[in-house]
Structure 1
Amino acid sequence: MRIKFLALIALIFTISQSYFAQEKGLIRGFVYDSKAKYPLVNANVWLEGTNRGDVTDFKGYFEIKNLEPGNYTVSVSYVGYKRAKEVVSLGLGEVKTLEIYLEELPYFSVEEIVVFGKPAEVYNQAEIGGREITKKAPRDLGEFVKNFSNVSAVKKGGYALDPVVRGLKFDQLNVQIDNGIKIEPACPIRMDPPASHVQAEDLEKVEILKGPYALRYGPNLGGVLNFVLIKPKRFDKFSVGGKLETGYESNWNGKVAKLTLSGGQRLFDFAVSGGMKDYGNYKDGSGNQVQAGFNIKDWSGKFGFNPGDNHRLQVSVRGIYARNVFFPALLMDERRSDSRIISADYVSKNLSSLINAINLKAYYSKVHHIMDNEFKPTRMMVEAVTDVNTLTQGARAEVGLILGKSVVYLGFDYSKVEKDGFRTRKMLTGPMAGKTFKDTVWQNSYISNLGVFSEYRTGVYDFNLIFSARYDLNYADARTPASSFAGLFSSLSSKHYSFSVSAGIDKAVTSNVKLSVLLASSKRSPNISERYINFLPIGLDNYDYIGNPLLKPETNNSIDLILNSKMLGGVVKGDVFYYYVKNFISAKVRPDLMPKNMGVLGVKQFINIESARLWGFEIGYTSTFSRDYGFSLNIFRTKAWNAVTDEPLPEIPPLEARTTIYYNLFGGKVVPELTVRAVARKSDVSTSYGETQTPGFVLVNFVMSIDYFKFVDISLGVNNLLNKTYYEHLNRRIRTTGVPVYEPGRSFFVNLAIKLGE
C-alpha cells in the first residue's frame, strides 16, 4: 500500500512538472549574414525590457527558455552589422523558431584588419575599442594594451611603454597604424616606440593577432598589433559633429584636452583633431617621487572621397610633438621628438563576381628625436646630446578574389627604413676635460624589405581552413660607417631571402565547442639596431652594444591549440602555444673591445643563438548569462629559455590572473567596474642580463562609466585603489642605483567627453 502511495505521488509530481513546463515558452533560432548566409558566432540576442538573452554558438544558434506567454521584442546585434529586431507573440508553452539575417554596415574601412564572424577566420584574434578606451582614460597606449591577455610592456618611464606579446617584443612584433602604416623609432633606446606616436583619444580600437600566423600584414615573428585611428562618420547630407574631451589624473597632476570634428556627406567626409597632454612626476605607493613627467601635443586629419558606394579614396596626415619626456631608468631623457605621418588609401569592393576587393596604400613617416643627460647624475662628468632621424616609406597592394566558396588574397608590401644621427659628448672632468667627441649612432644605415604574400580560405566538410605564405627580400647596408665599427667586419651589407608559411584549421565539434589548430614557420630579418648600432647602452643590462651585419633571420616554428566553448553561462577560451625559435637574436660579451660610455660593464655584440623555446597558456572566461551584470577571468603565463644553455630568456612576464566584475545600472547608462590583478613572483630570471627576481603583487582598480546624459559621457575611477607599492617585472631599473622604476600609487581620475552637434 505504501509503495502504491509513493508511486501515485511520483506520478502526480511528474504530471505537475510536465504541466508547469508546458506553460513556459521558448524562443530559439539562428543568426546569419544576410549576403553570404554563414552563421554569425557570438552575436548578442536579448529580449528588450528583460534581463533574458543568449549569445549565438558556432552554428549561429541561440535559445531563450522558460518564458511566460506574451509579446517579446527580440533584439540582435553584432559588430559591423545593423541591429535587427523582431516581435514575437508567444503562447502558453509555445516554441518559436526564428531565422534572423543581419546586414553588414555599408561603410567599409581602410584601417581595420580583424574581421569577426567570417568563415575560416581562425586566427587568434581580439580587439578592444569604443567605450573601453575612453572610460579607462589611458595616458599611454603601451600601458593600455596590457588589457589584452598575455600582453605586457617594457617600462622605462611614465610614457612610451613598449608592448610585449607572449614574451616577444620590439621588432619581433609587427606594430602598425591603420592597417599597414609603419613608423620607426629614431631613439636607439626606444624612447619613441611605434605606440608612442598614437594618442588614446585618437584611437577607435586596438586589434591584435597573436602568433606568427597572419602573414598578409607583413613579416611577423610573434604577432600583429594594429592601432585603428578614428574614422570619419558618413552622412547622407552635409553634417558636422564632434567631441571635446578633457580629463585629469591626480597622482601625476595630469591634464588632457582633445577636440575632434567629423563631418561631410555621401561624396566626401573628414575627421580632424588636435590635443595636448601635460603630466608631471608621480609618487609610488610609499610616497616616493618618480621623475616621469611628459608633455605631448598632436594633430591629425583624415579626408575621404567616395565616388561610389564601393569606392573610397582617403588621405591621412598626422603630427605629434613630445617635449621633456623623463625616463628614470635611462641615462638620458627625451628633450624633444617630432613625428609626421602621411598616407593615402584606395579601396574598392564588390567589383565583380570574381574580384571582391582591391586595397592600395602608400605612406611616409618621419621622426626627429633629441635626447640629453641634462637632469642625470652623469651631467657632472659629461655633457651628452644625441640628435637622430628616421625616415620610413612604404606601400601595400592587395586583391581579394572569390573562387566559389573560397577566398584568395594576393598582394605585396614594401618598406624602406633609413636612420642617421650623431651623439655629441663634451667631457667635463678627468684627463679628457674640455674635449668633444662626435659619435655616429646609426651610421647612415637603411633596410629595405619587399614581400609578396598570399592567403587562401575555404571550408571543407565543416572544417574551416586557412593557408598563408609570404616571400621577403630584405637588404641592409650602412652608408657612412664608423671606422672602428667597419673594421670588425668583412662586409657591412647583408641580404636575406625569407620564406614563411602558416596554416590554420578549425571545426565546430558540437554546437557549443570549437577546436582550432594553428601552425607556422615564420621569419624575421634583424633590425637596424641589431645590425648597426654603434657602441651605445641600449639593452636591459649595463653594456655598450654593437650591431652585427652578419646576423641571420630568426625563424619561429610555432603551434597554437585553441578551444572555444559555450559553458557555465558564458564563453570559455583556452589556448596552449609552443614556439621553437631558430637563430634567436641574443648578445654576448666582447672582452676584446673597449666601451665608449662611462660606467658601463663592457661591450656586448648581437649574435644568433642556435635556438630558443617559448611555451605558455591563456585561459579566459566571459559571462553571458546576464545583460546587466557579469564578470571575466583571464589566467596566462609564458615560459622561455635559451635551448642551448637552459638559461631563462630576459624580460618574460610572470604568471598572472585578472578578473573584472561589472554591473549595468539604469539600463547600462551607469556601469561600475572592478578589476583585480594577481601577479605571481618571478623567480626564473636571466642572470647574464642582470635580471633579479621580482615579488608578486595584487592590484585593484575601479572605474565607473556614466552615459546617462545626452551630450556628455563621464568616466571616473581610481587606479591602485589600495595604494600598493609595487613594480612590474618588465620595468627597467635605474642604471645608477639598480632600483626598479616603481608604479604609481593611488591615483584618481576623471574624463569627460562632450558631444558636439549631436
Structure 2
Amino acid sequence: MSYFFRLQPLTAAITLACSSTISVVHAEQHTLQLAPIVVTAQNEHTDANGLIIHADPKQPIQPIPASDGAAYLKSIAGFNTINSGGTNGDITFRGLFGSRIKVLTDGSENLGACPSRMDAPTSYISPESYDRITVIKGPQTVAYANTGSAATVMFERDAPNFDADKPYQGQASVVVGSFGRLDHNVEAAVGNDDFYTRLNANRSKSNSYQGGNGKTVPSSWEKWNADLVLGWTPNTDTQIELKAGKSDGKAEYAGRSMDGAKFARESIGLAYTQENVSEHFKKLEAQVDYSFNDHVMDNFSLREFTPSGGMSMPMATNVSRKTLNARIAGTYDWYDLTIKSGVDHQYNQHAKRSAMYNRYVDQARSKDMQFQSYGIFSEISYPLHPQYQLVTGIRADHVEVKDLREASKTSGYNTRLEKTLPSGFIRLESENSDATLKSYVGIGYVERMPDYWELFSPVHGNAGSSNTFNGINPEKTTQLDLGIQYEQGALRTWASSYIGVIQDYILMSYHQHSMGSMSHGISAGAKNIDATIAGLEAGFSYQFTDHIVTDANLAYAWGENRTDHGALAQIAPLEGRFNLRYVTDRYSLGAYLRAVAKQNRIAYHQGNIVGYDLATSKSFSTLSFNGSYRLNSSVDLSVGIDNVLNKTYAEHLNKAGNAGFGYASEEQFNSIGRNYWTRLSMKF
C-alpha cells in the first residue's frame, strides 16, 4: 500500500490503464446512461419528492476533485464553505453552521477537537472512499442523536456483493493537477457469500496555490486515510461488520495565525443488521463506534515563525476528543404503517495541552469538557391515499455537559448543564397519478444544546452571565419546508424553499476583550438572539437532443436578526450554476459557469466561531471546462480546467489573511486561479 501511495503521476496512470481489460462499451441502453460525466451540480437524484438528495462521490467532480467532505458538499445547492486555506473548509447550509448540520459517516458522528474548528468534522472525510452521500434538508428527520436543525448529511458505504466467479472487486483512481496536486485513492474488497473484507485508502497532497493575480496563497496540505472492514454474512438477512480506521495530515492556512500540524484519527466500530426478523419486524440495526481525534496546531512547523496575532513565541497546542456513539433501531411494517423507532447514546470528552515548540508532549492532557446524551425517537410513515403519504417523527434527548476546567471550579461557577430537549416534524408528500409532479410540505421543530465551540471558545456569554458556559441558552428552531418536482419529456424542474423562526439563536460578536483567543486583535463573545431565516434552491435540466443536455440551479439564503433589527451574519450570497454538456456513449464535453452575486446584507464583525462578516462582497463569475473519455469498460479519463479566465476573486464566506503572511488587516485572501487537472479511474 505504501508503494501505491508513492507512485508518480505518470507511473500511476500507466499502472491503472494497463491493469484494465481491453474491451469496448457498446451502448445497449440510452447513450446518456452510459456516458462518463464530470459532476458540477449535485441535484440529479432525490428522494422524498425532492427533500432528500443523493450524490455519488465516486464520480469525478468539477472544480478539481474534492480533498475533503466540505469541498464535495459545496457542489450541492445550498451548501457553502468558510475557507481558511486550500483544504478543510467548514460547511454552511442555508446560512447555518456548526452542529446545526449533523454530519455522519456510516451512521456515526466523528467530532473535531480544535476550539476554532480548524479540524471540522468534514476534514476527516475523504469523499471518494464512500459509495453514497445523502442530504436531508431541514429538521425533517429525528433518527439520529442531537438532531441537526439545518440538515442531516450522511456519508455511507455499501456492503460488497460478489459474483460466483469473481471473489473480488474494487476501484482505484489518481488525480494530478496544478500546484502540485496529487491524489491516490484505492478501494478493494475480497470475499464470498459468507465473509468479506474491504479496504479504503487514500492520500491527497497539494502545494500552495496562486490566485488569479499570481500571488501565492499559503494553502498546502498533505493527508491520508485508511479504513478496514471485516464483514460476516451468515445468511442473506444478516450482516455483521467490524471496522477500524486511521488517518493523519497537515495543512497550511492563509486565514489563521496557526497551521494544522496534525490531524490524527483513530476509530473502531461494530455494526449488526438483521432483515426480516418476523412478519412485521422488518429490520433491526445496532452499532457502536469509538473515535479519537488528536489535533495539533502551531505557528512554526509549516511556516516561518513571525510574531503576530498576540503570539510572540513559537507555540503548539494539542487538543483531543474521544467520542463514543451507540445506537439501536428497529423498523416495523404493520399493514400500511411503517414505524422506525430506536434509542441512541453519545459520549465525548475534550482535552488540551500547549507549550512552546513541541514540548507539549511532556505535559499531561487537561480535560475541559464532558458531554453525553441519551435519545429516544420514532418515525412513522402512512399512505393516506394513493397519491399522498404522511411522514412524522418525534424525539427527546437528555443532554448533560460538564465543565471540567479547574478555573471554573476555583471561581465557584456552576459546572454542570442538564437539559431534556424535544424535536419533531410532520410532512405530507404527494405525487400525481403519472408521477410527473411530486411535492412535499413539512414543519419541524428542534431544540439544540450549545456545542463545545459555543460553550467554551467564546470569551463570554449573554450580558450578566458568569462565563460562557453559564451564559448561553439552547436554540429553538421552528421551520417550514416546501418542495416541488416536475418531469415531463426532456424537461425536469425542481424547487425547495423554507422559512424558519429561531429563538435564542447563538450568535458570535467579535470585539476587543482583555482575554481570550484573538483574531486580528478581536475575539468572540457569544449571545442569544431571535432570528428569522428563509430561502430557496431551484433548478432545471433539459435534453435538447440525444447528445446535448443543459442544467442549471440557484440557491438563495436570507437571514434577519430580529433582536438587533439587522441582517444575520455569515449568509452566502445568491449563487447560480449553469452547465452545458455534449454526451456520447464514450465521451463527454462540458462547460460550467458559476455566478455569485454581491452580498450587501452583512452584520459587521458578527458570525460564528470560524468566520465573521468583514465587508460587503463583490459579485464574480468563473467559467470552467471539462471532458471525460471511457477508454474501455473499466477505465475512465476525466480532465478539467477550472477558472479558465484566471479570475481574481474572494468568496464572501472567507477568512481574512493572516498578518504573518503579509496580509493587511482584514484583507481576505483570494481563491484559486486557473487550475488544470486530470483524473484516471479504474474499476476491477
Q: Same fold (TM over 0.5)?
A: yes
- 1:256 aligns with 183
Whichever residue aligns with residue 463 of structure 1, its letter is Y
Give yes or no for contact 2:345–2:372 (8 Å, CA) kept in 1.
Answer: yes
Deviations 1:560-592 (A, max 9, x none): 12122124732211222101011111135787x
More relative contact order, 1 or 2 (CA 8 Å, 6+ apart): 2
- 1:556 aligns with 477
Give yes or no for contact 1:235–1:264 (8 Å, CA) kept in 2.
Answer: no
Report the Cα distance in structure 2 between the residues aligned to 1:276 and 1:399, rounded to whole angstroms: 37
2:234 aligned with 1:307, yes or no?
Answer: yes
Give yes or no for contact 1:534–1:546 (8 Å, CA) kept in 2.
Answer: no
Give yes or no for contact 1:202–1:230 (8 Å, CA) kept in 2.
Answer: no
3-state SS in 1 of match to 2:454 = helix
Give yes or no for contact 1:203–1:229 (8 Å, CA) kept in 2.
Answer: yes
Report the Cα distance in structure 1 between the residues aligned to 2:272 and 2:120, rounded to whole angstroms: 27
Whichever residue aligns with residue 399 of structure 1, its letter is G
2:448 aligned with 1:519, yes or no?
Answer: no
3-state SS in 2 of match to 1:477 = strand
- 1:385 aligns with 316
Report the Cα distance in structure 1 between the residues aligned to 2:628 and 2:84, rounded to whole angstroms: 30
Whichever residue aligns with residue 444 of structure 1, its letter is D
**Deviation for aligned residue 1:253:** 1.0
Deviations 1:472-516 (A, max 9, x none): 00000022x142x55677302101111111000022356332331
3-state SS in 2 of match to 1:215 = coil
Give yes or no for contact 1:595–1:602 (8 Å, CA) kept in 2.
Answer: no
Inter-CA distance 742–600: structure 2 relative to 1 (3 Å threshold): closer
Identify which of 687, 690, 696 aligns with 2:604. Answer: 687
Give yes or no for contact 1:663–1:673 (8 Å, CA) kept in 2.
Answer: yes
- 1:712 aligns with 635
Inter-CA distance 644–249: structure 2 relative to 1 (3 Å threshold): same
**Deviation for aligned residue 1:203:** 2.4
Identify which of 634, 637, 645 aligns with 2:564. Answer: 645
Deviations 1:455-479 (A, max 9, x none): 0001112321001110000000022
Give yes or no for contact 1:125–1:208 (8 Å, CA) kept in 2.
Answer: yes
Alignment TM-score, normalising by the size of structure 2: 0.85
Alignment TM-score, normalising by the size of structure 1: 0.77
2:670 aligned with 1:753, yes or no?
Answer: no
Deviations 1:208-249 (A, max 9, x none): 111011111232211111112464343335612333322211
3-state SS in 2 of match to 1:236 = coil
Identity over aligned residues, as a percent? 19
Report the Cα distance in structure 2 between the residues aligned to 1:439 and 1:700, rounded to whole angstroms: 51
Whichever residue aligns with residue 202 of structure 1, its letter is S
- 2:649 aligns with 726
Which runs of 5 or more structure 1 residues have no equivalent in the other structure? 1-46, 54-74, 76-113, 427-435, 537-544
Identify which of 494, 506, 526 aligns with 1:606. Answer: 526
- 1:42 aligns with none
Residues 59-458 of structure 1 mapped to structure 2, 5 A cutoff: 121=48, 124-129=51-56, 131-133=58-60, 137-178=65-106, 180-218=107-145, 219-229=147-157, 231-236=159-164, 239-250=167-178, 252-323=179-250, 325-374=251-300, 375=303, 376-378=305-307, 381-424=312-355, 443-458=367-382
Greater mean deviation of Cα atoms: 636-645 or 379-388: 379-388
Deviations 1:611-636 (A, max 9, x none): 11110011111225655331211121
Identify which of 465, 477, 486 aligns with 2:390. Answer: 465
Report the Cα distance in structure 2 between the residues aligned to 1:526 and 1:228, rounded to whole angstroms: 27
- 2:402 aligns with 477
Inter-CA distance 489–499: structure 2 relative to 1 (3 Å threshold): farther
Report the Cα distance in structure 2 between the residues aligned to 1:115 and 1:406, rounded to whole angstroms: 26
Give yes or no for contact 1:238–1:263 (8 Å, CA) kept in 2.
Answer: no
Cα RMSD for the two superposed structures:
2.9
Give yes or no for contact 2:635–2:680 (8 Å, CA) kept in 1.
Answer: yes
3-state SS in 1 of match to 2:455 = helix
Give yes or no for contact 2:242–2:269 (8 Å, CA) kept in 1.
Answer: yes
**Deviation for aligned residue 1:710:** 3.2
Deviations 1:698-732 (A, max 9, x none): 11122212223234221111111111111111111
Whichever residue aligns with residue 500 of structure 2, its letter is Y
Report the Cα distance in structure 2 between the residues aligned to 1:394 and 1:131, rounded to whole angstroms: 27
- 2:594 aligns with 677
Report the Cα distance in structure 1 between the residues aligned to 2:561 and 2:239, rounded to whole angstroms: 48
Inter-CA distance 404–586: structure 2 relative to 1 (3 Å threshold): same
Report the Cα distance in structure 2 between the residues aligned to 1:166 and 1:52, rounded to whole angstroms: 32
Deviations 1:646-696 (A, max 9, x none): 22122110001111121212x2x2112221111001111111425211111
Report the Cα distance in structure 2 between the residues aligned to 1:641 and 1:562, rounded to whole angstroms: 22
Give yes or no for contact 1:398–1:411 (8 Å, CA) kept in 2.
Answer: yes
**Deviation for aligned residue 1:354:** 0.6
Higher-Rg structure is 1
Report the Cα distance in structure 2 between the residues aligned to 1:49 and 1:635, rounded to whole angstroms: 31
Give yes or no for contact 1:409–1:454 (8 Å, CA) kept in 2.
Answer: yes
Inter-CA distance 147–599: structure 2 relative to 1 (3 Å threshold): closer
- 1:618 aligns with 537
Report the Cα distance in structure 2 between the residues aligned to 1:487 and 1:676, rounded to whole angstroms: 58
